[in-house]
Structure 1
């Protein structure tokens, strides 16, 4: 099993952040069923919400929108949510720190889920991640922040770069990898890189908008890898309406 570790940062003005490494909160846990929820446009109108929520543990990523508007298709349950460090600065960055009020407001829709941040891809990313952790502590938020151990992140990226010609694998693919180590049965929803479904109906890029994907990732190549995992029984990939 992949074992990650959780650093708790403490800092004072003018002081460097000190990290105390702790064992993963999932070290001795194994979940029977897990849903990994992608953000693909194929989820819109899918009616998959109840099936997603029926899993024991639900992964979501990049703090994608939730709420009554989407619940029938994506569900309401969240066990772990991710945010990329670059998104912290883009969405919530201020001249000195982050917009704590906006961040905690957006995070609240995920309840007391774990907050997973890929903190150690660069020094700049780590700085933003630490600011989020400190902000959540200051507000008394119940979300436990997890920074995956750098060797774990590096091993996952190195593995997938052998199979995918991309600058970096997407958060979705990395989460699928994590789920296979934590769960007996892994169910995937919202992973579909095409702009039309199996019935040739037009789809947006995401279930909530039509923003174009970054060129850093090779999503069609990743999808082929997910199909291989599905065909060999490692995961269950849902690419049709759940009704």
Structure 2
């Protein structure tokens, strides 16, 4: 029994080690075609790349060849995204009086995409909701930026010294209200758009039950600027708490960041876009926000995206010792991995986008 357990642990360690070496060599050499990108696609997805772009061909041996220029590939992806959602991302990723009306029923994104959901669930928009909670226009309508950074919460950011590099971006997107001040050296402090799942108000602010909870919530929000993106119409169990958080900020007169409610129609359109490309697991917010950056930024940089529990360090001081480094799920807490998402599949797609030149995926320390 003990030998079998040791053998199993050795196989897991060897697999993670090989993957880490593979990705490290990829970013060091910049020659991913040597390895063959078919390694990124699980057997269940079939022979084709999930991106399924005309500018990308896949030979019978599984090696992907890029036959178009970066500009060609970029324009094709944007065109496919916009055609699929029938809109511009900046205008439709939040609810506005241009895309919803009184009496309309909004689908709950999470409840209506669960495999075991037996019936569709909707939230009907009232006149008061439209008046008080829905702005006339999107805060990002018509905006364009040179360099954008999407900052994930992966533990790979710990001790990375990437904060200064991230803050030099023209626009910074963060997910799920990460603490800023204690981790500024590694993750930066600049914010232009920050997402906040309703669960944050539950786990960190006691469901905003007391005045003290509300005061602490408002104080923390004061560290952020720009847009606060709230996916309120995600689950019927969380919608009241999400609106409570928004109305708390309204009551306290918080105008920066400006709260915006996610448009579930658009979120579902993006889910459907990737479902038709064999990605069926509910996407992370960071993956969704990457698409926003791709549509409004000339350069898209990703930090803190790493689905593996280990990595090979950038500096190897003694090659004869175990140099594998543990990677936490989040760089700012001790929470475990979330089984609701498929981080490996998303990382495979992001890595392919990196190869194609659509974005820059940063997985090394920034002071190396």
TM normalised by structure 2 equals 0.59
1:143-193 superposed Cα distances (whole Å, 9 cap, x missing partner): 211112222111122223343242x11111111111111211110001011
- d(CA) in 2 for partners of 1:77 and 1:187? 14
Alpha-carbon offset, residue 231 of structure 1: 0.8
Residue of structure 2 aligned with 1:201, choices 304, 307, 325:
325
Pick which of 39-48 and 130-139 moved more. Answer: 130-139
Q: Is the contact between residue 231 and residue 263 of structure 2 (CA under 8 Å) also seen in structure 1?
A: no
Question: 1:164 aligns to what?
Answer: 279
- d(CA) in 2 for partners of 1:97 and 1:17? 25
Correspondence 1:1-243 to 2 at 5 A: 1-2=88-89, 3-4=91-92, 5-7=94-96, 17-20=128-131, 21=134, 22-67=136-181, 69-92=182-205, 93-94=207-208, 99-110=213-224, 112-142=225-255, 143-162=257-276, 163-166=278-281, 168-199=282-313, 200-243=324-367
- d(CA) in 1 for partners of 2:209 and 2:248? 15
Secondary structure (helix, strand or coil) at the match of 1:23 reads coil
- Whichever structure has more strand as a proportion of its residues is 1
The number of residues matched between the two structures is 234
1:100-126 superposed Cα distances (whole Å, 9 cap, x missing partner): 21211221222x331001122234433
RMSD: 2.2
Max radius of gyration: which structure?
2
Q: Is the contact between residue 198 and residue 240 of structure 1 (CA under 8 Å) also seen in structure 2?
A: no
Alpha-carbon offset, residue 89 of structure 1: 3.1
* Cα distance, 1:161–1:125 mapped onto 2, change above 3 Å: farther
Alpha-carbon offset, residue 91 of structure 1: 3.0
Secondary structure (helix, strand or coil) at the match of 2:221 reads helix
- d(CA) in 2 for partners of 1:53 and 1:94? 31
Question: 1:11 aligns to what?
Answer: none
Question: 2:107 aligns to what?
Answer: none
Pick which of 203-212 and 40-49 moved more. Answer: 203-212
**Larger relative contact order, structure 1 or 2 (CA cutoff 8 Å, min sep 6):** 1
**Structure 1 unmatched ranges of 5 or more:** 9-14
1:61-114 superposed Cα distances (whole Å, 9 cap, x missing partner): 1111111x311111110111111123323333145899321211221222x331
TM normalised by structure 1 equals 0.88
**Structure 2 unmatched ranges of 5 or more:** 1-87, 98-125, 314-323
Q: Is the contact between residue 201 and residue 208 of structure 2 (CA under 8 Å) also seen in structure 1?
A: no
